[in-house]
Amino acid sequence: MSTESLAEPVNRVRPRRLGSLRLRLTLAVPLLAATVVGLFEWSLGGFEPLADGLARIAWLVLLLSAAQLLLIDALLLRPLRRLAAGCEAMESAPVPLSPEAAVPAPGRIAELDRIGHAMLRARGSLWQQDQHARELRRELAQQRDQLQEAHSAIEAHQRELAGLVRTDALTGIANQRAFDEALRREFKRAQRQRGLLAVAVLDLDQFKQFNLAHGTAVGDTALRRVAALLKERFKRDTDVVARLGGEEFVTLLPGFGMAEAQSVLESLRDDLRALRLPDGQGSLTLSIGLAAASPAHPYLSAQALLQAADEALYMAKHAGRDRLSLAA
């Protein structure tokens, strides 16, 4: 059966349905209008006025029905007719059913082939670009890791350099720079809190002759052992032991007055005499100059306190060495 033969019954059915709908509306609308007008007139005066004004009611029903039918035709029936006409036009359009009708022309085939090849090339190019982007991301990740490692190494070197700047390379204790900072800090604290602060400058007696007799290697070992002895003797958190240079050391003792510091330092001199030097090479003695700041004996500055201890050391040296001298 052909498409035209199937479409014919459908095309006949649609006008019939529209005509039936128009007929039903033509019958229903006057009845509805008469009912509405009759109810309205009855509500105004009852049945007797309704019978007297029958002609007028008939004219009202006729006019109201005509107006409603015109509105229904304009708003409903005409759009339905246009819709039906469009459907009939779509159904009456020829539809190719044979396979030959669906086969494109040879020129179209060649054009479609070119488009397909172009799409394949574009897909391959996109795949290569994606691979290249992945390689770049991997390289960037590796470089970022390397930069982080380099940054960590630089920070470690900076910490090491900062430690070297504040540490004596030979003995491992604080150097003069670190001691000067601690002295200024503790001096200000002692002034603020009206506390005690003792400073002792220590010098190994005849150390140049010791180096000449035993060699600088033995002398360096002796300096390291003296530094270890000082760290062991002065091990409070607030104590500071430093090497000023050569064979000269210094101790900072917060909270110690002259008497307390003197007692500890005399004991240190005894410990140094008993110190075992490398291979039993000779013995060492200490000359010490001690100064202490207190509310009863204040100093104008931290440098003045250190200078007083240094002058006391000078007096100990000239008094015969191997002794402790107190600042005036």
Which residues lie closer than 8 Å to 183 by C-beta, 6 or more apart? Answer: 199, 240, 252, 302, 305, 306
Q: Quick one: which of 314, 230, 296 has its CA closest to 257?
A: 296
Model pLDDT, residue 44: 66
Average pLDDT of the segment spanning 54-78: 74
Model pLDDT, residue 162: 60
Catalytic annotation, pick one of 247, 248, 260, 311? 247
Quick check: 290 and 175 in contact, CB under 8 A?
A: no
CB 204 within 8 A of CB 285: yes
Is the model's pLDDT at 225 over the cut of 60?
Answer: yes
Residue 146: pLDDT over 50: yes
Q: How far is CA 107 from CA 90, 112, 115, 118, in A?
A: 30, 9, 12, 17
Regarding the domain with residue range 176-326, which homologous superfamily does it belong to in the CATH classification? Reverse transcriptase/Diguanylate cyclase domain (3.30.70.270)
φ/ψ of 321, rounded to 5, equals 65, 175
**What is the percentage of the chain residues whose pLDDT exceeds 70?**
80
Tell me how far apart the alpha carbons of residues 156 and 150 are, in angstroms, rounded to a whole number.
10
pLDDT for residue 10: 45
**Residue-level pLDDT at 195:** 95
C-alpha distances out from residue 300 to 145, 240, 303, 306, Å: 55, 21, 8, 11
Q: What is the mean pLDDT of residues 171-175?
A: 94
* Residue 8 a catalytic site member: no
pLDDT of residue 260: 94
* pLDDT at site 307: 96
Look up the pTM and report it: 0.52
For residue 20, what pLDDT is reported? 73
Decide if pLDDT at 4 tops 60. Answer: no
The encoded tokens of residue 34 equal 């008469």
6: pLDDT confidence band, cut at 50, 70 and 90?
A: very low
Confidence of residue 207 (pLDDT cuts 50, 70, 90): very high
Helix (H, G, I), strand (E, B) or coil at 176: helix
Pick from 84-88, 166-170, 223-227, 251-255: least confident: 84-88
pLDDT at 306: 96
Strands 240-245, 324-326: parallel, antiparallel or unpaired by DSSP? Answer: unpaired
| Residues written for the chain | 328
* Mean pLDDT for the chain overall: 82
Query: Which whole number is the average pLDDT over 127-150?
Result: 87
Running DSSP on this structure, what letter comes out for residue 194?
A: T
